[in-house]
Structure 1
Amino acid sequence: MARRRYPPITTGSDGLYHAWVVVGTKPNGRPDQRHVKRKTATEVEDRVDELLEQKRAGAVPRAGRGPTVQSWLLDTYLATIAPGTIDPTTVQGYRSKVVNHVLPVIGALRMDRVVADNIDAVYAAMRRKGLADATVLQVHRILARAWKIAARRRVVPRNVLVDVDPPTAKRKEMTPLTEDDARAVLAAAERRRNSARWSVALALGTRQGEALGLRWPYLLMECDECGATVKLTDWWSAGRRRCRGCDSADVGAVARVWWQLHRRSHEHGCAERAPWPCGRKRGGNCTARRLPLRSGEIHVGGGLILKEPKGKGKRTIPIPPELVAALHAHSEVQGLERMMAESAYAAHGFVFADPLGEPIDPARDWRDWKAVLALAGVRDARVHDGRHTAATLLLAQGVDMRVVQELLGHSTIKVTEGYTHVASKLAREATQRMGRRLFHPPGTP
């Protein structure tokens, strides 16, 4: 007897047309049969064809009523899936963008009924608010990831975001400090506490969190001959200038950028999502507040944590001899502060700390940077512009791009290539100054 491949369509006592389609097998081993009920036989045939096509593609949605966009994004993706691979602070930022920009437009729609036009409507609403193209692109990436996982888990039959063109965002122009500005900043910083903080930023190109997360045990003297290492503080106290193991003079200082200091917001501990039983809006004011920590992270007080840099950020950077001298002077000042504070001094071991050894909050570090810029008479700039400055100066001096990528911990060479046009301009100005000095006798115009 021939096997019936297309399910029969029957008329029920309710006056509607019915069909039953087997689309797979349930976890308990029983057939996964879907009931199709429509007003006309044509509508039933269309739905049956859709289910059979999904069955052939292995993309049949789960049985039952699909979740809404709000339910999937807030209760599932951002609550249970994303925290497994994404930093909690980043998840909080995702949640804010979803609540403010996505849910007001499509939050009530069912996931399996969202089409490309609905996603376009979200982006159009954001642009009407005057939001930056980069923000729209961030929302697109959040939704693309959420829908990709939903399709993989058969919450939706397919990823509708593949039908949506990603918004375009212009790359933000980098504005590093000039070499003269960098010198002025270092000169102004000498009159302030923790002056070596800005020497590290401009010489090593560290990120703010990496510089604030530096600890003395991660500053080492390394022998190029035998590879032996000794803590920089022990090297100074011993007064040696050669390797203790092989007596080689090829010894240089290195910084292991293995941690970064980061501020993380507390979350509500009274419930998973609003409305909050504690009656407080901010998680930091919740009576049962909690600080989310991932594996390997270290809580150092308040909302400050130490975590490993992402991607290729974990690296070892050579320290110039001039910076070693600045760090030595800084350590002596810190030693006096430790003696004055006695038992009140915290034993965290931070290179840059407050007078009691506690880590420096990134917000306070930002204020210190602004004060140094004002004192130096240099234009206003972000803390991160110090990193841009280090990158462009290295490239302008002819340092190989791959080396710069390794020193700064860029994830890809394309990030480093973004500095080349600025570095080329600096290099051209430098060669022009050199030409004037070499080929124009003193006193000539």
Structure 2
Amino acid sequence: MAIYEYSKRGKIHYFYSFEVKDFHGKRKTIKQKGFTGKREARAAEAEARVEWEKGLFVDPSTITYAEYLKSWITNKHNISPQTRETNEGQIKNHINPVIGNVLLQKLTTQHIEILITSLKNKSLSSGTVKKIFNLVNTSLKSAVKKELIVKNPIDLMDVGSKPAVKKGRVDFWTVDEVKDFLDGLEHRHRIIFVLAIYTGMRRGEILGLRWRDIDLENGQIRISQILAFKGEIKDGAKTVSGNRSISIPPIVVSELRKHRSTIIKEKWDAQEKYKDHDLVVCRKNGLPVSWSNFHKFWLRILSKSNVRPIRFHDLRHTCASLLLSGGIHPKIVQELLGHSSIKITLDTYSHMMPNIQADAVKTLEKMLN
């Protein structure tokens, strides 16, 4: 067995290297570096030879892009379960049907452009098209690092050929629409919408909120856990800046006290069947509400009201818009919403502050005249 040594950072390392013939009689070299001892290198070489003989060794020149994607996403461990499921769905439904059967090493810029066109023809949002494009790009960058392909075909694309994200329209309710919605809302989960409108909390933050994280006496809520994908309760917020304390007005304190009375009664009625997770928002048996059915629940709530339909996430935008239109400083809004920087707040909501520029020039005029 051929074991060779080489120097790395002043230390001796070893690698194995041996030649084989493929089915076409073409010679190829199989090698691997990084071993600190000869015995370890010999064992790895023996295993590699056995795999070759059994036909387990994969010839990079015969791998289709679909086969590569399956291996790549399976061995990608730095993503959340939700992201993994989303990526696998994008691969199955959008990528593989168009370019999955193309050999990885034969993938060209034209193939990527064809994929982008097919995505746009499906009337997918610009954000979704961009995410799928980024998924392909990341996978091909990994293939370059692994020396499965020489160059990422996306690097050869014209800038204008790459998908761009159109800035989404931020929708929100007016003061009157909020009043109409809350005035007509009678539901055991009313507190969800009160918190969303008055605090700008995200859905996962509301559904994961515990009573121990609420100080009713001092009007404070501490965000310390969320209800994540598939009903998983996770410590911490969506982002580092999301771990925050929120001040709540007396009306929200009153709504929380009323809601807690309902929860206490339900807990008493359920007795030993109650699964106490200390959740503010929960089913009648104490378990977290259904994450997957939440959108349908929101649509049912909307259908029973006479208010203009918006997304549930737009209640967060509603909170921000009402605060900014009321003259609250963007820095305070940033801290309330848990944005990582004030830039995000300003980029998202600057159009909601139409009087800022006019007020600024008037102030300057007064100073100079």
Return the TM-score normalized by structure 2. Answer: 0.74
Shift of 1:335: 1.2
Alignment check: 8 A CA contact 1:208 1:362 kept: no
Alignment-derived partner of residue 33 in structure 2: none
Kindly provide the CA deviation profile for residues 116-173 of structure 1, in whole angstroms up to 9, marking residues without a partner as x: 1221111122233343333221111101111222222323223332223330231121
Alignment-derived partner of residue 139 in structure 1: 132
1:407 aligns with one of 336, 343, 356: 336
Cα distance change on mapping 1:32 and 1:196 into 2, 3 Å? same
> 1:2-401 to 2 correspondence within 5 Å?
28-29=14-15, 65-66=60-61, 67-75=63-71, 77-81=72-76, 84-164=77-157, 165=159, 166-189=162-185, 191-220=186-215, 232=216, 252-264=218-230, 304-307=231-234, 308-312=236-240, 313-401=242-330
Hey, what's the Cα distance between the residues in 2 that align with 1:404 and 1:152? 43
Cα distance change on mapping 1:162 and 1:411 into 2, 3 Å? farther
Hey, what's the Cα distance between the residues in 1 that align with 2:19 and 2:334? 55
Cα distance change on mapping 1:193 and 1:338 into 2, 3 Å? same
Cα distance change on mapping 1:414 and 1:151 into 2, 3 Å? farther
Hey, what's the Cα distance between the residues in 2 that align with 1:309 and 1:160? 37
Shift of 1:324: 1.4
Give the structure with the higher percent helix. Answer: 2
Percent identity for Structure 1 against Structure 2: 27
Hey, what's the Cα distance between the residues in 2 that align with 1:370 and 1:104? 33
Hey, what's the Cα distance between the residues in 2 that align with 1:101 and 1:369? 28
Cα distance change on mapping 1:32 and 1:139 into 2, 3 Å? farther
Aligned residues: 306
Alignment check: 8 A CA contact 1:392 1:419 kept: no
Which portions of structure 1, spanning 4 or more consecutive aligned residues, are displaced by more than 6 angstroms? 31-35
Shift of 1:203: 0.7
Alignment check: 8 A CA contact 2:64 2:104 kept: yes
Kindly provide the CA deviation profile for residues 299-347 of structure 1, in whole angstroms up to 9, marking residues without a partner as x: xxxxx21124332333222222321121112112211222222222221
Kindly provide the CA deviation profile for residues 228-286 of structure 1, in whole angstroms up to 9, marking residues without a partner as x: xxxx5xx6xxxxxxxxxxxxxxxx3322222222343xxxxxxxxxxxxxxxxxxxxxx
Alignment check: 8 A CA contact 1:188 1:372 kept: no
Cα distance change on mapping 1:177 and 1:28 into 2, 3 Å? same
Kindly provide the CA deviation profile for residues 368-394 of structure 1, in whole angstroms up to 9, marking residues without a partner as x: 433443444211121111111011112
Alignment check: 8 A CA contact 2:81 2:229 kept: no
**Structure of greater Rg:** 1
Cα distance change on mapping 1:30 and 1:87 into 2, 3 Å? closer
Give the letter for the 1:206 counterpart. M
Hey, what's the Cα distance between the residues in 2 that align with 1:363 and 1:154? 40
Cα distance change on mapping 1:314 and 1:33 into 2, 3 Å? farther
Hey, what's the Cα distance between the residues in 1 that align with 2:121 and 2:252? 50
Cα distance change on mapping 1:139 and 1:367 into 2, 3 Å? closer
The Cα RMSD (Å) is 2.9
Hey, what's the Cα distance between the residues in 2 that align with 1:369 and 1:140? 31
Shift of 1:401: 2.1
Give the letter for the 2:69 counterpart. L
Alignment check: 8 A CA contact 1:392 1:422 kept: no
Cα distance change on mapping 1:400 and 1:33 into 2, 3 Å? farther
Unaligned runs of 5+ in 2: 1-5, 8-12, 22-57, 360-369
Alignment check: 8 A CA contact 2:64 2:102 kept: yes
Unaligned runs of 5+ in 1: 1-23, 36-62, 221-231, 236-251, 265-303, 432-445
Hey, what's the Cα distance between the residues in 2 that align with 1:200 and 1:69? 46
